[in-house]
Structure 1
């Protein structure tokens, strides 16, 4: 299978997964010749600065890890060129662009995937399963947090980018467990243009959620996060740490009237699991669980938060 990987920033997280596989060929595309060649060489890939090649050569998948304003544009280019596409979060910077991709994907015979990597984290699956099954009763309070150092070279995590690029996955958890909130309140702090923190409080009928994301941490911190989900009959608490390789260490603990115990969950590399799912879908071995239409609710809520954080129209 041949893959065109567009982008040398966060594209490195995808590259780290691809380089471990022997059933694919990857060409990395970037805008800066020296940087593109250096990053591609690090992973043993060929490189190119001719973006048009990604849509002209016989690639099976175009993996789009470019700046957010280009996500929808390049996804649509891939579909126009009869290519499958994997789009890094978020699908688009506006709902209009996101819906255009959804509509184009529906008309095409190709597949589009959105990197909803958090859906492949066992701790998150445990939370969603508990909500759906009513294992601990009704979900009343959900707190999520994700605090990180700058682990991705060249990627800004300032106030302009943090909501869309760091909170989106949490908003997917929120919308899949509680739906869309009736109120959204946002507080921010910015150290500089590349480092900031955002906190959102979300009100629902009979429930409340809070999400805290930050890029203010030193490199020695790495990336850490988790959630506390309070139900009417118990609590689920998850905590994890993750490095640049995308491989997390974490635990999920259940608390109820009978005591506390740690859930026995399988280890998982969420990025590898996501890409494995994409490749399985392309081989016809699985149904697409991360299609663009499934990301719309979370994207709308993320854009609402971004509007409050940055005053976007």
Structure 2
């Protein structure tokens, strides 16, 4: 399979996975000839600055879009119009109407569109989804998710402007998959500067509550850490992990029930490999698409609501 990988920044996370596969041929596309060639060369890929070729060259089967959010929807639509499959970094779009247009176009097309909801492929999260779907511990009553990171990605801002779409979207996907859309939302924020901040969001449901805590205020020595505590009627799942730019988190999930604590035996896997393995399995006809545009709309709706609350608050604040 020949893949056009658009983007030399976060595209490196996907590139590292492709480089370990023998069943793909990848060309990396970017704007800067020297940077693109250098980055592509690190993974053994060819490079190009002719982005149009990713869509007009019939030899490309899949367009992998790792570009700024405002370009996501337009480039997915362009890929479909060109008769190609598309994999797009999250979020699917920065506007819910654009996301719905992509969803409708994907439904009409015989090509697949995948959204990189990588957190669905983290074994700890899969354990949570399975517990909810199977009712292993009864009804989910309370869900707390937290992610606290140092500024580990040079040049990347993790301030209030960026945090909702860049960092909270995965949590919103977990919450909506586990509990659906909330009845009410409360958001509080703190900003150290334009690149470092924290957001606390609390969500109310008819018979449950959830919280998402995101922070980029941590010192470098802290690294990146996260996890969740899911309280069910008959038990608790508690997950902790340490992760970084390599996309290979380590961590544990412990189940607490009347029988005592038990550490779950989970497979060793990283989310980006799992996500791309899934994409390839779908394209080979071996699996159903679990990260389609239609499957992310509720999470995106909630994410954009948080973004509006955070950034409207900043604009409207008399301070």
Bin of the TM-score, shorter chain as denominator length: over 0.9
Instruction: Give the CA deviation at 1:272.
Output: 0.2
- Counterpart secondary structure, 2:193: coil
> What is the rounded CA distance, in whole Å, between the counterparts of 2:187 and 2:14 in structure 1?
31
Structure 2: segments with no counterpart, 5+ residues: none
> What is the rounded CA distance, in whole Å, between the counterparts of 2:261 and 2:211 in structure 1?
24
- The answer (yes or no) to whether the contact 1:9–1:152 under 8 Å persists in 2 is no
Q: Name 1:96's counterpart in structure 2.
A: 97
Moved more, 132-141 or 71-80: 132-141
| Pair 1:12 & 2:4 matched | no
**RMSD of equivalent CA atoms:** 1.4
> What is the rounded CA distance, in whole Å, between the counterparts of 1:41 and 1:196 in structure 2?
35
Instruction: Give the CA deviation at 1:213.
Output: 1.2
Q: Name 2:28's counterpart in structure 1.
A: 28
- The answer (yes or no) to whether the contact 1:9–1:155 under 8 Å persists in 2 is no
Q: Name 1:113's counterpart in structure 2.
A: 114
Q: Name 2:203's counterpart in structure 1.
A: 202
1:260-311 C-alpha deviation (Å, 9 max, x unpaired): 1101111111100100110111111111111000000000000111111111
Instruction: Give the CA deviation at 1:168.
Output: 0.8
> What is the rounded CA distance, in whole Å, between the counterparts of 1:197 and 1:34 in structure 2?
36
| Pair 1:37 & 2:37 matched | yes
Instruction: Give the CA deviation at 1:19.
Output: 1.1
Instruction: Give the CA deviation at 1:154.
Output: 3.5
* CA spacing shift, 1:246–1:222, aligned 2, 3 Å: same
> What is the rounded CA distance, in whole Å, between the counterparts of 2:104 and 2:41 in structure 1?
37
Instruction: Give the CA deviation at 1:234.
Output: 1.2
1:70-128 C-alpha deviation (Å, 9 max, x unpaired): 10010001011111000100000011000100111111111000001111111111111
Q: Name 2:126's counterpart in structure 1.
A: 125
Q: Name 2:240's counterpart in structure 1.
A: 239
- Counterpart secondary structure, 2:295: helix
| Pair 1:49 & 2:15 matched | no
Instruction: Give the CA deviation at 1:6.
Output: 0.7
Using structure 1 for the length normalisation, give the TM-score: 0.96
- Counterpart secondary structure, 1:173: helix
Give matches, 1:199-278, under 5 Å. Answer: 199-278=200-279
> What is the rounded CA distance, in whole Å, between the counterparts of 1:16 and 1:218 in structure 2?
27
Moved more, 256-265 or 129-138: 129-138
> What is the rounded CA distance, in whole Å, between the counterparts of 1:275 and 1:153 in structure 2?
25
Instruction: Give the CA deviation at 1:190.
Output: 2.1
